[in-house]
Amino acid sequence: MVDSGATSVFIHERIVKEFKIPTIKLDKPKKLRVIDGREIDSGMVDKYVQIEIEIFGHSEILSAYVVNTGHNDMVLGMSWLKCHNPAIEWKKGWVTFNSEYCRDNCLHHAPQVLAGKTPDLELKAVGILPDTYKMYADVFTEGEMTELPPHRPFDISIDLKPGAVPRHGPIYSVSVKEDEELKKNINNQLAAGHIRPSKSPMASPVIFVKKKNGKLRMCIDYRKLNDMTVKNAYPLPLVKDLLITLRKAKIFTKLDLKWGYNLVRIKEGDEWKAAFKTKYGLFEPLVMQFGLANAPAVFMHFMNKIFRDLLGIFVVVYMDDILIFSETEEDHVKHVMEVLKRLKDNKLYCAMEKCTFHVTETDYLGLIIAPGVVKVDPAKVTKAVDWDTPENVTDIQSFIGFLNFYGDFIEGFRNIAKPLYGLTKKDVPWKWTEKENEAFLRLKEALRTAPVLIQPDPEKQYFLECDASDYATGAVLSQIGPDGKMHPIGFLSKSMNEHEQRYTIHNKELLAVIRAFKLWRHLLEGTEKPVIVLSDHKNLEGWKTNVELRGHVARWQETLSHYNFCIFYIPGRKNGKADILSRLQKLRPEGGGESSALLPENLFIQAITPDHDLERLIQDAYIADEYSQKVIKALEENEKVKHWEWDNGLLCYKGKIWIPNNKAVRKLVIESRHDNMAAGHPGQFRTYELLHRKYVWASMKKSVNDYVANCESCIRNKHSNQVPPGLLNPIEAPDKPWEEITFDLITGLPESEGFTAILTVVDRLTKMVHFIPTTNEANGVDVANLFLTYVWKLHGLPRKTISDRGPQFTSQFLKQLHKRLDIKPSFSTAYHPQTDGQTERLNQVVELYLRHYVSHRQDDWVGLLPLAEFAYNNGTNASTVGPPLMHGFGLMHQRESCGIGVFQI
């Protein structure tokens, strides 16, 4: 501690004893008084020490009185300050040694140690710039940005997807304080040249979030812009590869860049795309903003270019975190100098309060790095296994639910766990005996010692399972390993404070997601493949479509805007790991219980159940199913059972997975083939056909019919398609696929990505469809272009087309196109749409699909069209006996993981 109120130099008696420093008695004891004149309680000062201290190259020998200095190891008072005359920057908390005395006597000087073991006074506290690097003090500047950074080759470009239409969001109302901050922010940025007035047709809304210090921060909600932006595939470095370069390092310096994204310009000509609207006008930024989808990739490319020839030699860089490492102190000074020089040359700045210099141990990207050692906090694993002995069936179900995920990693898992499974059976009384306790302890020990964690691979997809109870949050980050199985990377379990415990269920679940992304930011920010977030809370699936965000939820939105992710719902019992972590008994506060759901679950319709989770539930259900146990026993004893086989832990009957007599499991299996977005809530026939491709059980058709008949979403959205009795006159079917097609327009839809209509095209033979977004104003030229772009390139020219008598289909352009391409057009009878009944029926199908899954704002239907098209083409058509995909392309979709094709996990 530097204290101008102290008259001399003092050292704590604890330090003297700890380092066994010899003391020297004073010839004459001295009285010591505090600032108000009172003598200290410890009495007279009667000894002192001579020691060597070194502060980042500033080395000297001094004498210090031995006293109780309270919380400070040493106090450097006026006698020392007068001698060295350091420059003190009070605001920044810096001490710079640059006096004539220091240059002659202290700097780069290593005198002989005179007494005892030198105390380790290496300054590890942040906020102090070593004098060695004073020439680069401007790299650690305080205050706000006042200059516009220069254009560079790495300016961020905002490339829009083909066909993207400029969109603009609403202006959100602001409070008085927010209004003051808004005006201040706009005025400051205009003065600095960071923004300028705009006439852009695209505009994103402004929101405000509260920082930890209580101040407001203006943010821009770029969600709509990001949806239509072409993603930059520039890779982020592999963390495990970065760490390999640190094997011989013995000394470290860590630098944290300040204003990182804002130091990069937006590419000239793209500024209008990032425009934002306020009550004071429309503005466009000239510097890269937080929340832009490609900001992480662009910034990483920029940093790699600056340090490319140093990377892996004595520098590793991950986004705005720079780690400098060396084997010797002498080399380290040179290395730090070179890095600071490049930062200065490129006008990049560091946050002094987040930097550390010349240390032998530091934290970097969530790891503890020391010479020859890279350590992970063991608490991340022990938290996952530190639960109390189960006291009831609910506890044991939670424990088994957690362990099910790790069953493949523990030898003999199911045999060890068999006594615990017995306690979960229906009508079995709770009785915890030595047998159950031994199984419980064996499983805990096996989990502690099993190599369950894998190194993260940024090229693969991340799976983040999150859950929240009333008092804690839990999360597990996982990836699929080389063996094709899911392995955890890390665990998170954290209690909530009193304020967080008052959150709604929805916000508690979202808090679990936020905490997980913050903990694993270095892994999840800027991923090319979306992070799959799995939650047992259905409300979160629609979080990205919220109309307006405020308070801490708005702040969370800003945080999550940096990540590429999707949220999917899975039932709580299948989300066992994260669910357990959020419900550990030691985190539970006294009193209170679980809250009810934010909304009744039957109001939410979308559910995606990963097949690997379903299969685990099916395996568990075999244990309690008497018939399945008989078949399994026979197969294990190598008996031949006709049509049955045992395949990777699953019973198969005639090549299809057998579902035991368990109502809950059967319901989940049907749900995966009916409620799924890639299925589209089909009718009884199509649901059964999709299900029967992979699964089988007795009375399956009745189970399916009952489920579909009682599906609340179907009841709410569907209407009767029964026609009145009468004579039918079907049109003669063509001989070849795509020889005859029908097409029609669905108009008057809410605007979505600039589109307001759908062109539907159907092959009359195979019933294969295409759903093409367009506008109400589409004319004959537009329809012809859409036909050539989306249909002709895949299927060639049809011999005949059927449509209604809309002006788009009777225009002179289309007539000429038909004549030129030798296509025979056919128009339905006016006011008699049954002539083109196939397309009219299809229009009802796509409209019904969109009603099932569109957001409450009904402005996201364009993104659902590919899924609607796949769902229809993948379903079996009764008139063609097979799915259109099979007849149209000569194939059936083979990938059955997670149910209905590629949309599954």
* CATH code for the domain in which residue 34 is found: 2.40.70
> Could you tell me which residues come within 8 angstroms of residue 559 by beta carbon, excluding any fewer than 6 positions away?
514, 517, 518
Taking only the tens place, the pLDDT of each residue in 216-235 is 888 888 888 888 989 888 88
Residues 391 and 436 in one domain: yes
Question: Encoding tokens for residue 277?
Answer: 């609207």
Q: How far is CA 147 from CA 92, 262, 350, in A?
A: 21, 11, 16
Q: Which of 499, 523, 525 is nearest to 511 (CA)?
A: 499
Question: Phi and psi for 650 in degrees, rounded to 5?
Answer: -125, 140
Reduced to 3 states (helix: H, G, I; strand: E, B; else coil), residue 11 is strand
Q: How many other C-beta atoms can be found within 10 angstroms of the C-beta atom of residue 90?
A: 6
Asked if residue 82 is part of any domain, the answer here is yes
Asked if residue 544 is part of any domain, the answer here is yes
Question: Phi and psi for 734 in degrees, rounded to 5?
Answer: -75, 170
Residues 240 and 344 in one domain: yes
Asked if residue 149 is part of any domain, the answer here is no
pTM over 0.85: no
Cα–Cα distance measured from residue 867 to residue 849, given in angstroms and rounded to the nearest whole number: 9
| Residue 525 identity (one-letter amino acid) | E
Report the sign of the C-alpha dihedral through residues 536, 539, 545, 548, in that order: negative
Residues 185 and 333 in one domain: yes
Q: How many other C-beta atoms can be found within 10 angstroms of the C-beta atom of residue 702?
A: 10
Asked if residue 730 is part of any domain, the answer here is no
Taking only the tens place, the pLDDT of each residue in 230-264 is 988 888 877 666 766 776 788 999 998 887 788 88
Cα–Cα distance measured from residue 580 to residue 395, given in angstroms and rounded to the nearest whole number: 9
Asked if residue 340 is part of any domain, the answer here is yes
Residues 691 and 753 in one domain: no
pLDDT the model gives residue 414:
60
Residues 230 and 340 in one domain: yes
Question: Encoding tokens for residue 177?
Answer: 């304080």
471 close to 589: Cβ distance less than 8 angstroms = yes
Rg value, the chain, Cα: 35
Q: Which of 112, 111, 116, 113 is nearest to 24 (CA)?
A: 116
pLDDT the model gives residue 324:
93
pLDDT the model gives residue 384:
39
643 close to 658: Cβ distance less than 8 angstroms = no
96 close to 84: Cβ distance less than 8 angstroms = no
Residues 550 and 617 in one domain: no
Question: Phi and psi for 503 in degrees, rounded to 5?
Answer: -65, 155
Cα–Cα distance measured from residue 813 to residue 787, given in angstroms and rounded to the nearest whole number: 13
Domain final position from 104, 121, 138: 121
The CATH number linked to 665 is 1.10.340.70
284 close to 272: Cβ distance less than 8 angstroms = yes
Cα–Cα distance measured from residue 319 to residue 364, given in angstroms and rounded to the nearest whole number: 12
Residues 561 and 654 in one domain: no
| Residue 886 identity (one-letter amino acid) | M
Asked if residue 60 is part of any domain, the answer here is yes
The CATH number linked to 314 is 3.30.70.270
Residues 67 and 18 in one domain: yes
Residues 215 and 111 in one domain: no
Asked if residue 655 is part of any domain, the answer here is yes
Question: Encoding tokens for residue 822?
Answer: 């030798």
Domain final position from 333, 350, 374: 374
Q: Residue 412: give the domain boundaries.
A: 382-449
Reduced to 3 states (helix: H, G, I; strand: E, B; else coil), residue 125 is coil
Residues 432 and 363 in one domain: no
CB crowding 585-613: b at 16 or more within 10 Å, else e:
eebeeeeeeeeeebeeeeebbbbbbbbbb
Asked if residue 269 is part of any domain, the answer here is yes
Q: How far is CA 16 from CA 3, 27, 71, in A?
A: 20, 20, 15
> Could you tell me which residues come within 8 angstroms of residue 180 by beta carbon, excluding any fewer than 6 positions away?
none
Cα–Cα distance measured from residue 518 to residue 525, given in angstroms and rounded to the nearest whole number: 9
Q: Which of 366, 302, 300 is nearest to 521 (CA)?
A: 366
Reduced to 3 states (helix: H, G, I; strand: E, B; else coil), residue 871 is helix
Query: Cα 441 to chain center, whole Å?
Result: 34
Q: How many other C-beta atoms can be found within 10 angstroms of the C-beta atom of residue 162?
A: 6
17 close to 88: Cβ distance less than 8 angstroms = no
- Could you report the average pLDDT of every consecutive run of 10 residues in the chain (905 residues)? 75 76 69 60 71 67 78 78 73 65 56 31 46 83 72 88 84 87 88 88 87 76 88 78 72 86 88 90 89 87 89 88 90 93 87 83 73 50 60 79 54 66 81 85 66 64 84 79 70 74 82 88 84 73 52 72 78 50 44 34 35 72 83 79 82 89 85 77 83 87 87 68 49 76 85 89 87 87 82 80 65 59 57 53 79 74 86 72 64 42 30
Q: How far is CA 457 from CA 238, 525, 527, in A?
A: 7, 13, 11
The CATH number linked to 869 is 3.30.420.10
Residues 84 and 67 in one domain: yes
Residues 370 and 387 in one domain: no
Report the sign of the C-alpha dihedral through residues 18, 21, 22, 26, in that order: negative
> Could you tell me which residues come within 8 angstroms of residue 73 by beta carbon, excluding any fewer than 6 positions away?
11, 12, 14, 15, 119, 121
Cα–Cα distance measured from residue 740 to residue 730, given in angstroms and rounded to the nearest whole number: 14
Domain final position from 314, 343, 374: 374
Query: Cα 119 to chain center, whole Å?
Result: 45
Number of domains observed in the structure of the chain: 6
322 close to 236: Cβ distance less than 8 angstroms = no
For residue 117, what are the β-bridge partners?
none
pLDDT the model gives residue 336:
93
508 close to 500: Cβ distance less than 8 angstroms = yes
Q: How many CA atoms lie within 13 A of 45 on its CB side?
A: 21
Question: Encoding tokens for residue 573?
Answer: 């019992």
